[in-house]
Amino acid sequence: MSSILEVKDLSVYYGVIQALKGISFHVDRGEIVALIGANGAGKTTTLHTLSGLIAADGGTINYKGHELTKIPSHQIVTFGMAQVPEGRRVFAQMTVLQNLKMGAYTRADKAEMEATLANIYKRFPRLEERKNQLAGTLSGGEQQMLAMGRALMSHPDLILMDEPSMGLSPIFVNEIFSIIEDVNKDGVTVLLVEQNAKKALSIANRAYVLETGSIAKEGDAKELLNDEAIRKAYLGE
């Protein structure tokens, strides 16, 4: 299987603190890959560095043949990578429809954009029902759907998801994870950062365990789900 994303020896410093200590990992086309680990392990830093929000201090990020470490974040989106940020970050004072259209700002073809919007509404009927509502008035789960819909409007090949289940009710958590699986079945590769390690490992193909900026373990997600050390450390068992 060919890698869509290849990360080698990636290092990031916050001042004198090394947040990422030369990590290497890859994501193959069509996979769901989970990054799990405790708070402060470097999961969000990894995603922000991939999408250009944080500058790398060392190492390489190869995405579909592009070396990303020197490329600004707005340009990375045009290569077909989208991020669903932690805490959703919807534009609260804009309508649902305006938020979705913000996700398609890199796309010039109006007809194609309308077709994508119709698909998003099919996937998230609630967003269509609330298209003229201000995004700030939606529930947490609906805002998460909006953040996902907005990312999908750019027609990404790879979607980076940062803590999609954070702060959601159990019903919404199940719904969001089943949407992630559906998006993946439709051909979008997913790199998933998630506090809920059990849920993440249950839908992922492979996973990497981050500990204080280093990769401590990697492997088949189902095997890691049954690994005793992982169960104790991250699954609360």
Q: Which of 168, 166, 230 is nearest to 192 (CA)?
A: 166
pLDDT at 29: 96
Which 3 state secondary structure label does DSSP give 72?
Answer: coil
Phi, psi for residue 27 in degrees, rounded to 5: -125, 125
Tokens of 69: 């470490």
Q: DSSP alpha helices (H): ranges in 165-227? A: 170-185, 197-203, 221-225
Q: What is the reported pLDDT for 104?
A: 82
Q: In this predicted structure, what is the pLDDT of residue 237? A: 61
Q: Cα–chain-centroid distance for residue 195?
A: 13
Helix/strand/coil for 36: strand
List the end-to-end C-alpha distance of the chain, in Å, as a whole number: 34
CATH H-level superfamily of 3-234: P-loop containing nucleotide triphosphate hydrolases (3.40.50.300)
Per-residue pLDDT of the chain (237 residues; tens, 9 = 90+): 689 999 999 999 999 999 999 999 999 999 999 999 988 899 999 999 999 999 999 999 999 999 999 898 888 888 999 999 887 789 889 999 999 998 887 677 778 888 889 999 999 999 999 999 999 999 988 999 999 999 999 889 999 999 999 888 888 899 899 999 999 999 999 999 998 899 999 999 999 999 999 999 999 999 999 988 888 887 766
Where do the domains of the chain lie? Answer: 3-234
0.85 surpassed by pTM: yes
